[in-house]
Amino acid sequence: MFSYAGRHNVGRIKGVDQLYSVINGIDSLVNDGAYDLLLPESDGSGAVVGNQLSMSLGIDPLNQFEPLIVFMTRPRARGASISSALTGRSGMIRREFQPTGIIRSMEAFGTQAVLVPLAEAQQLLSMSDSTVSSLEVQLLPGYANDDTYARIRAFMGPDFTVKNRLEQESSILKIMQIEKWVGFALVSLMMVLISFNLIGALWMIVLEKKRDISILRS
């Protein structure tokens, strides 16, 4: 759960390392502010927020005095009691981040997501430093083909899901395909209507000039 200036909303959080923007160029999609997850001048960490979540929370990247507060449920040990109030330990993990930028829509990132440094996300999720959920790679020119993807899938095995950029942006591609067919249908309908109107107009001209045509023939 995210809280900013008295507003609350839920979303996804994604921890990334320093090379994340180099791999996919996501820093070029920052619409407001800058892509900056590491703040050496302060003790905190930065966060890049998705467009939809930023609008619902009213996030202003230029406001350096209002932090983005993240609440994460603390995992319970197996067989532990629910009553954390008796032990004096809160059931939520709380972290504060400084919003540094707002990113436009990108399916692989999500409009309801927040980018934070990998170490901070691992602490929020109570995971070890060596635990990650995905690995994003960038292929050299000439290697982004089906043969490379097939070899990567064969090497990783069935326990891992391997997706290229097109598969990660599948819903956007589907929307683009639908838009293309809708545009084709609209243009076709316009051509049919224009053809009928043109034929009808010529036919009416012929009917009106029928007497003149007969005189001209004579």
Within 8 A by CB and 6+ apart from 213, the residues are: 206
More confident of the two residues 143 and 167? 143
**Chain centre to alpha carbon of residue 180:** 21
Residue 20's H or E segment, with its range, is helix 20-24
Q: What pLDDT band is residue 46 in, cutting at 50, 70 and 90? A: very high
* Residue 153 token pair: 């899938």
> What DSSP state is assigned to residue 66?
S
- Cα radius of gyration (the chain): 29
pLDDT at 70: 93
**C-alpha–C-alpha distance, residues 54 and 66, integer Å:** 13
Task: Read off φ and ψ for residue 173, nearest 5 degrees.
Answer: -65, -40
pLDDT at 78: 57
Digit-coded pLDDT (tens) for 48-60: 998 888 999 999 9
> What DSSP state is assigned to residue 12?
E
What residue type is 183 in one-letter code? G
Q: What pLDDT band is residue 141 in, cutting at 50, 70 and 90? A: confident
Whole-number average pLDDT of the chain: 85
Mean pLDDT value of segment 177-206: 92
Instruction: Decide: helix, strand or coil at residue 68.
Output: strand
- Whether the predicted pLDDT of 194 surpasses 90: yes
7 HSE (CA, 13 A, CB side): 14
* Residue 146 token pair: 């089906």
Q: What is the pTM of this model?
A: 0.67
Would you say 36 and 137 are in contact if contact means Cβ atoms under 8 Å apart? Answer: no
